[in-house]
Amino acid sequence: MTEQTFESSGLRGDCAQCFGLCCVALPFAASADFAADKPAGRPCGNLRTDNRCGIHADLRAKGFTGCTVYDCFGAGQKVSNVTFGGQDWRTGPGERARRMFDVFPVVRQLHELLWYLTEALGLDAARSVHPGLREALERTERLTLGTPAELAALDVVAHRQEVNVLLLRTSELVRAAAADSARRGSDAGRGTGAKGSARGGAKGGGNGRGGGKAKGKDRRGADLVGARLRGADLRGATLRGACLIAADLTGADLRDADMIGADLRDADLTDADLTGAFFLTQPQVNAARGGAGTRLPGSLTRPVHWTGRG
């Protein structure tokens, strides 16, 4: 899966083609991520009349880190130019603005599903479920093209659950293939008298909440806040929905790991290897810390704030 695939599919936010919907429709509360409170439906004080952010280059310095780790997956331009045909929320009746703000989060969820489905279709190990994935992709795309009324009435939670069945099966197939590959490599190493990979035997620090070894490869929904997982072998692990806030993953092996929904805020990915990690999104990476030695999937971009970290 290449970055260009996602770009050409309209699955990355394009602020130049949007009416600043995320800066108006979504609420945020004063916290470490946002310097002020803002209710849903009220424009952010930093939003200019041209729909661009007035402090974009200084968001982190001004206390708006939360904005730097957000991506609408292209929902903003879809709602602005397709759902509402290029009609700005600033003009026309207030009811239209309210409908735009109600619809935007729905389309954002659908576009996130399109990201996962598009990635899943690029995973060779999941070929047996590609027909189902392709059907789900086409259906989800059709849903994004609905009228404002249809989108507002959509049970997006139910649709996510249906798609999740396919994504879970995809995860099982990809991680099983990774385990087989690792096992063959290990067997070959033993056959030639090699001592095996130093990374494969690496252990974490030990006293973090999750324990150094992360207690196996199935860490779905695990509480790993602040966990000491330096050098941990998490290759082929499932970290779906795991809370890894401020976890030390320095040098960890996260190759071929399922990262869907993992909370990586302030997690240290310095020198970690995420080659082949799947269902990992740009917002997740943006929320973490890393450096030049961090290896990312080709579909993702190294965050600017990582510059200078080793």
pLDDT tens-place string over residues 161-210: 999 999 999 999 999 999 888 788 767 666 655 444 444 433 444 334 44
pTM here is 0.85
Give the per-residue pLDDT at 300.
Answer: 92
Pick 243 or 212 by higher pLDDT: 243
Note whether 120 and 260 are within 8 A (CB).
no
- Burial label, 196 (beta-carbon count in 10 A; 0-12, 13-18, 19+): exposed
Q: Is 52 helix (H, G, I), strand (E, B) or coil?
A: coil
Q: Is the pLDDT of residue 309 over 70?
A: no
Burial class (CB in 10 A: 0-12, 13-18, 19+), 95: exposed
Digit-coded pLDDT (tens) for 10-28: 899 999 999 999 999 999 9
Q: 3-state secondary structure string, 90-142?
A: CCCCHHHHHHHHHHHHHHHHHHHHHHHHHHHCCCHHHHHHHHHHHHHHHHHHH
Considering only CA atoms, which of 216, 225, 301, 215 is closest in space to residue 267? 225
Phi, psi of 189 (to 5 degrees): -65, -45
| Interval 277-281 mean pLDDT | 97
258, pLDDT greater than 60: yes
pLDDT score of 60: 87
pLDDT of residue 157: 97
Burial class (CB in 10 A: 0-12, 13-18, 19+), 252: buried
- Interatomic CA distance for residues 230 and 266, integer angstroms: 14
Of residues 5 and 84, more confidence is placed in: 84
Separation in Å, CA 258 to CA 278, 290, 309: 5, 19, 25
Confidence at residue 192, expressed as pLDDT on a 0 to 100 scale: 54
Instruction: Confirm if 232 and 201 have CB atoms less than 8 A apart.
Output: no
Q: Quick check: 64 and 34 in contact, CB under 8 A?
A: yes
Rounded to an integer, the average pLDDT of 127-132 is: 98
Task: Give percent above pLDDT 90 in the chain.
Answer: 75
pLDDT tens for each residue of 50-67: 999 999 889 989 999 899
Is the per-residue pLDDT at 9 higher than 80?
Answer: no
Could you tell me the end-to-end alpha-carbon distance of the chain, in angstroms, rounded to an integer? 27
pLDDT at 4 over 80: no
Residue 181 confidence (pLDDT): 81
Report the pLDDT value the prediction gives residue 201, as an integer from 0 to 100: 39
Asked if 300 and 288 touch (Cβ cutoff 8 Å), the reply is: no
Q: What percent of the chain has pLDDT over 70?
A: 86
Distances, alpha carbon 55 to alpha carbons 41, 60, 62, 65, 68, in Å? 20, 9, 8, 12, 11
Residues 6 or more apart in contact with residue 273 via CB below 8 angstroms: 199, 252, 253, 254, 255, 295
